[in-house]
Structure 1
Amino acid sequence: MFVTLGCGFNQKPPERMDPKVIEKVVQEMADFTPDMGEIEGVPLLKGICDVWDTIHNFQARDGDIVVASYPKSGTTWMQEILDLIVLDGDVEKSLRAPGFVKVPFLEMGHTSLEVANTMSSPRILKTHLPVQLMPPSFWEKDVKKQSDWLLWATAPLFLCTVTWGNWFDHVIGWWKAKERHKILYVFYEDMIEDSPREIHKVMRFLGKDLPEDVVQKILHHTSFQSMKNNPMFNFSALSETVFDQSVSTFMRKGIVGDWKNHFHESQNLIFDKEYEEKMEGSGLAFRTEL
């Protein structure tokens, strides 16, 4: 499935977003509770389940770009790279709103979807939904999907048990979907190993050809340290009721192989066995270290 982005890249991006809209999105995030529900057998936060009809009926547009990833897999990094590519590297325009507002989160409730509906095309959207729960309109439209950009090596046993369902089902589901749809699979380890190479890969996927000095600007602005220190991306501007930075910073270490500092040898053996069984025959392989 090929995508025609038309004149979207030439449209003037919106000016800085209305502070009241930003405040409304933040409040909706604060209202989420850890209570759980279920949609089609997939465990999800109850707040997501409560607005499921709105999410399910969301209307995709031709030219939408979707970052589909498992939670805590580098989503914020990729969405900022995509935003700067769309904006031809204009950093000032990229600061029009915090990352969690300017790139609407499909399952984060009514306000986030309202923001998406007011945006000009091409829109950048993000989701942690497994492939089978994506709103049907995305399969009906000529939509580009930047899919499953994964950091699997950071506490993988934990990732298998958090909300948004099972990690194995999630990554294999999106991997198989690329056989039927226009999906680019990008790996966190590859990004850490050679960010310029992977950014050029994403640009080709989007049909963009930017000068090398612009690519270098994107690399600088989206470096881990730059984003970690930027309140537009690191969630430090949010209250503790929304995100408690004293427990863990939103952007943690930005490295590959930190699992070695958390897994005992016996735990690693258990995980390796589970990994081999669940991934057998998928054709999907992850690197756990560089």
Structure 2
Amino acid sequence: PEMDAIPRPELFDFNGISMIKVFTANWENIQNFQARPDDILIATYPKAGTTWVSNILDLLYFGQREKAIPIYERVPFMEISLAGFDSGTDFLDKLPTSPRLIKTHLPVQFVPKSFWEQKSRIVYIARNAKDNVVSYFHFDRMNKGHPEPGDWSSYLQRFKQGKMVFGSWYDHVNNWWKKKQTYSSLHYMFFEDMVEDTGREIDKLCSFLGLTPSVEEKTRIVGEVHFDKMKNDEMANYSKIPVFDFKVSPFMRKGKVGDWKNHFTVAQNEEFDEDYKTKMNEPTLQFRTEI
């Protein structure tokens, strides 16, 4: 069917988090998912650098493997469940690689408990709220599988209220940050640090994972995961997904820090900052909106 013929889904409240059916339909299997000690869970709020870090991890572990497999098959999306396709958990159960690289956007309280029990390693990537909402807005415009975004100003209001697929950005980044204080196998990264110095952040990631790539290998990976290179790589850029309308916006749009300045009005920015202060009261969690 033509994309426009498929109605966009409605948001609904799911245990206190705004969700859509494709991420809750397989809930029992998600909650009962059997994690393994060597699994690596890549967790993010949507549009915070998930594909970037997935690619880096895939290259670190499986650098030499067949490149003709799309990233979403190499790093399955755990909670997705589309009629007529394998669910994320089915895909993971069949994944032959070890370690398994697993993508999720779940808030920390929804993560299957076996990940904590098995002490699986988790890499969380956070991106500043202003760039994150801009990126999510353009994504929701082109992703017919998500609710209709509406115009920018109403979208911005909804973002503040947490009425987004996967809920509130504020709760997501804060609660994952809190988890880090009690769960040592969690590496918390910032998108802005990655843009500023990808090599440095890969070094930190390797030390967390106990990997020791050679200088040559690391240099090669930094080159491979350059934004423009991934944006033009059909195996990384999601261009084969039918619900994504690239005529509206590419899946990988800019990958920049500070693009929010091209979207927020002065008034919107002031209101956003005031609201932000009320929701972000964890002094140890600090974001940069420019670098």
Measure the CA separation in 1 of the matches of 2:66 and 2:124.
Answer: 22
Matched to 2:251, the amino acid is F
Please report how far the alpha carbon of residue 82 of structure 1 lies from its aligned counterpart in structure 2 after TM superposition: 0.6
CA displacement, residues 37-82 of structure 1 (integer Å, 9 cap, x when unaligned) = 3321111112222221111111101111011000011100000001
Selected match of 1:51 from 22, 26, 31: 26
Query: Who is 1:235 aligned against?
Result: 238
Query: Who is 1:280 aligned against?
Result: 281
Secondary structure in 2 matching 1:153: helix
Matched to 1:67, the amino acid is I
Measure the CA separation in 1 of the matches of 2:35 and 2:220.
Answer: 30
Q: 1:155 to 1:188 in 2, by over 3 A?
A: closer
The answer as to 2:121 corresponding to 1:118 is no
Equivalent runs, 1:169-180 vs 2, <5 Å: 169-180=171-182
Measure the CA separation in 1 of the matches of 2:255 and 2:10.
Answer: 29
Equivalent runs, 1:73-84 vs 2, <5 Å: 73-84=48-59
Query: Who is 1:60 aligned against?
Result: 35
Matched to 2:212, the amino acid is D
Matched to 1:56, the amino acid is Q
Matched to 2:28, the amino acid is D
Query: Who is 1:103 aligned against?
Result: 75
Query: Retained in 1: the 8 A contact 2:45–2:172?
Result: yes
Gaps of 5+ in 2: 1-5, 134-155
Equivalent runs, 1:1-290 vs 2, <5 Å: 33-87=8-62, 89-90=63-64, 93=65, 95-109=67-81, 110-119=86-95, 120-154=97-131, 156=133, 157=156, 159-160=159-160, 161-181=163-183, 182-239=185-242, 242-290=243-291
The alignment of Structure 1 onto Structure 2 pairs a total of residues equal to 256
Please report how far the alpha carbon of residue 155 of structure 1 lies from its aligned counterpart in structure 2 after TM superposition: 5.2
Query: Retained in 1: the 8 A contact 2:125–2:191?
Result: no
Please report how far the alpha carbon of residue 111 of structure 1 lies from its aligned counterpart in structure 2 after TM superposition: 2.6
Task: Using the aligned pairs only, state the percent identity.
Answer: 42
CA displacement, residues 155-175 of structure 1 (integer Å, 9 cap, x when unaligned) = 533654421010000000000
Moved more, 35-44 or 201-210: 35-44
Secondary structure in 2 matching 1:50: coil
Matched to 2:76, the amino acid is P
CA RMSD after TM alignment? 1.9
Matched to 2:170, the amino acid is F
Matched to 1:114, the amino acid is D
Measure the CA separation in 1 of the matches of 2:66 and 2:31.
Answer: 29
Q: 1:149 to 1:155 in 2, by over 3 A?
A: closer
Query: Retained in 1: the 8 A contact 2:231–2:237?
Result: yes
Matched to 2:218, the amino acid is V
Please report how far the alpha carbon of residue 265 of structure 1 lies from its aligned counterpart in structure 2 after TM superposition: 0.5
Please report how far the alpha carbon of residue 139 of structure 1 lies from its aligned counterpart in structure 2 after TM superposition: 1.2
Q: 1:94 to 1:264 in 2, by over 3 A?
A: farther
Per the normalisation by structure 1, the TM-score is 0.83
Query: Retained in 2: the 8 A contact 1:75–1:149?
Result: no
Secondary structure in 1 matching 2:131: coil
Q: 1:155 to 1:105 in 2, by over 3 A?
A: closer
Moved more, 109-118 or 260-269: 109-118
